[in-house]
């Protein structure tokens, strides 16, 4: 750790290395927390407040969007404070340890609103969503910032990012499997288990425990790496100067390209998550048994991405590969929606499952691969910025990425609520008696929006300004500067 007086420069560039398996697994395992939270939040929160509690879907969507946009402005400050934290546990780990309990408390409150008016419950939703997501930021932003700190190796970053996504999907799909297979199954008083409020309360408790365990395991498992992480000198500065440096840091072409692509990609993900249960109930008409198999199918797709993305990243350009993955995933998604719209799907039952589930797995593999490569490119932006500014601001960059994820997931839920209102599915409607025209319009409206956003994201990925050769050249220059004693200071 650098001297408190600020007279000693810290390590400017992390080691180019392959991480030990135990460290890689511990680091990746932390994403179980975010995956569990994101799956429950994105997949079940809208239907819980809308169909179970009886609140208007459009109002719920707007409140969730407002909460997430409001909360998202916490992320840049977490990034700045994380970059500037000095402790015997380094810059990131104090945040990891401190986040666990607030996340659990906020999460339990979110799923247990008090009885009362619609206004009261919407206010409760807003406040608890802000608290929960802010606490998640205090873990996820510093945790993601560890990616470029643990190694500067161009391909190793893609590999450890793939582990994060694999564990994130495993955590999320485990929660979904538990929900569909145990907690939200059909019961005498609730033939459709998705409308059983007790199941959601149990889901909240289990997922809170999962998140706390994942956070602590990841923090402890990577604790031994603290001495190998970049150690920086921090000097006190007025707030205005800090904001000026933040603006300078974020004024980076590669960062802007990834943020804009992320706006489109994560909005699509937010819409898809929020509407998933509506698709399963109204369009695909999946049986309880099929719903229990669905998480396994999706996890197979995520596992395929874990294997594919790092290999593709080693053999071709990350930006080009991300573009192809986005377009291919959207094409597959449009394909099975087209089968439904044209009446070419088999009738509801296991034959329909046999057609849809392989397509679900392929689309998941393509989509997750694009996210892995996008996150890996964000890690590569760190050194490009360091060359321009002389500062390592990992926390700021990944805070910006997380900011976009939050804003767009909220936007996605709001758009989902708007789609439901537009096609007439915003109120409690039994899937067995839903109008075929409404369901048809629901699927058509969704795929038009999804396809448009995917096309824009793919185009933006092609505008990412550098690749492997430029990254390696920057590392050589930074290493030479460090050997000459050039200082590395966060002002």
User: Distance between alpha carbon 254 and the CA centroid of its chain, in Å?
Assistant: 20
The C-alpha atoms of residue 461 and residue 378 are separated, in whole angstroms, by 12
| Residue 87 DSSP one-character state | S
The C-alpha atoms of residue 191 and residue 174 are separated, in whole angstroms, by 23
pLDDT of 486 reads: 46
Does the pTM exceed 0.75?
Answer: yes
pLDDT of 107 reads: 97
CB 388 within 8 A of CB 251: no
Return the closest-CA partner of residue 232 out of 2, 4, 387, 480: 2
pLDDT of 66 reads: 85
pLDDT of 4 reads: 32
The C-alpha atoms of residue 112 and residue 120 are separated, in whole angstroms, by 13
The C-alpha atoms of residue 461 and residue 170 are separated, in whole angstroms, by 26
pLDDT of 381 reads: 87
pLDDT at 193 over 70: yes
Instruction: Output the CA–CA distances (angstroms, integers) from residue 484 to 385, 477, 478, 479, in the order listed.
Output: 20, 11, 10, 9
Tokens of 419: 């789609």
pLDDT of 249 reads: 66
Return the closest-CA partner of residue 470 out of 367, 282, 318: 318
pLDDT of 247 reads: 67
Q: What percent of the chain has pLDDT over 70?
A: 89
Q: How confident is the model at residue 426 (pLDDT cuts 50, 70, 90)?
A: low
Return the closest-CA partner of residue 417 out of 291, 270, 283: 270
pLDDT at 438 over 60: yes
Burial 251-287 (b: 16+ CB within 10 A, else e): ebebbbbbbbbbbbbbbbbbbbbbbbbbbbbbbbbbe
Task: Give the CA-trace dihedral at 399, 405, 407, 409, to 10 degrees.
Answer: -160
Instruction: Describe the crossing of helices 154-178 and 288-315 by its angle, rounded to 10 degrees.
Output: 180
The C-alpha atoms of residue 478 and residue 484 are separated, in whole angstroms, by 10
**DSSP of 404-415:** HHHHHHHHHHHH
């Amino acid at each position: 750790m650098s001297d408190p007086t600020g007279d000693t420069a810290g390590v400017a560039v992390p080691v180019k290395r392959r991480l030990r398996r135990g460290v890689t697994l511990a680091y990746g395992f932390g994403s179980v927390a975010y995956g569990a939270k994101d799956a429950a939040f994105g997949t079940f929160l809208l239907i819980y407040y809308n169909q179970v509690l009886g609140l208007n879907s459009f109002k719920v969507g707007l409140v969730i969007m407002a909460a997430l946009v409001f909360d998202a402005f916490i992320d840049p400050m977490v990034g700045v404070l994380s970059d500037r934290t000095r402790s015997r546990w380094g810059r990131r780990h104090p945040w990891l340890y401190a986040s666990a309990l607030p996340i659990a408390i906020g999460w339990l409150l979110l799923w247990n609103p008090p009885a009362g008016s619609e206004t009261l419950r919407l206010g409760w939703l807003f406040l608890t969503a802000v608290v929960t997501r802010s606490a998640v930021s205090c873990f996820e932003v510093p945790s993601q910032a560890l990616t470029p700190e643990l190694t500067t190796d161009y391909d190793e970053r893609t590999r450890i990012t793939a582990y994060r996504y694999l564990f994130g999907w495993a955590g999320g799909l485990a929660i979904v499997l538990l929900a569909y297979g145990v907690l939200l199954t059909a019961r005498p008083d609730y033939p459709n288990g998705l409308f059983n409020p007790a199941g959601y309360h149990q889901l909240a408790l289990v997922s809170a425990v999962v998140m706390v365990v994942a956070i602590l395991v990841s923090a402890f498992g990577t604790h031994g790496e603290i001495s190998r992480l970049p150690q920086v000198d921090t000097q006190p500065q007025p707030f205005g100067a800090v904001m000026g440096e933040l603006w300078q840091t974020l004024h980076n072409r590669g960062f802007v390209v990834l943020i804009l692509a992320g706006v489109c990609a994560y909005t699509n993900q937010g819409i898809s998550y929020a509407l998933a249960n509506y698709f399963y109930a109204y369009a695909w008409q999946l049986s309880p048994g099929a719903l229990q198999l669905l998480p396994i199918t999706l996890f197979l797709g995520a596992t395929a991405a874990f294997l594919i993305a790092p290999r593709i990243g080693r053999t071709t350009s990350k930006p080009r590969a991300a573009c192809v993955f986005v377009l291919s995933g959207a094409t597959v998604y449009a394909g099975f929606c087209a089968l439904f719209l044209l009446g070419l799907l088999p009738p509801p039952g296991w034959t329909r499952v046999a057609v849809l589930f392989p397509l679900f797995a392929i689309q998941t593999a393509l989509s997750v691969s694009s996210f892995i490569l996008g996150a890996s490119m964000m890690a590569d932006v760190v050194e490009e910025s360091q060359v321009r500014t002389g500062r390592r601001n990992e926390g700021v960059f990944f805070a910006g990425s997380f900011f976009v994820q939050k804003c767009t997931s909220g936007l996605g839920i709001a758009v989902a609520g708007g789609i439901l209102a537009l096609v007439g599915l915003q109120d409690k409607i039994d899937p067995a008696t839903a109008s075929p025209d409404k369901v048809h319009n629901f699927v058509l409206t969704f795929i038009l929006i999804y396809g448009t956003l995917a096309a824009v994201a793919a185009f933006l990925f092609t505008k990412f300004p550098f690749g492997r050769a430029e990254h390696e050249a920057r590392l050589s220059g930074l290493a030479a500067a460090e050997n000459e004693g050039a200082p590395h200071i966060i002002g």
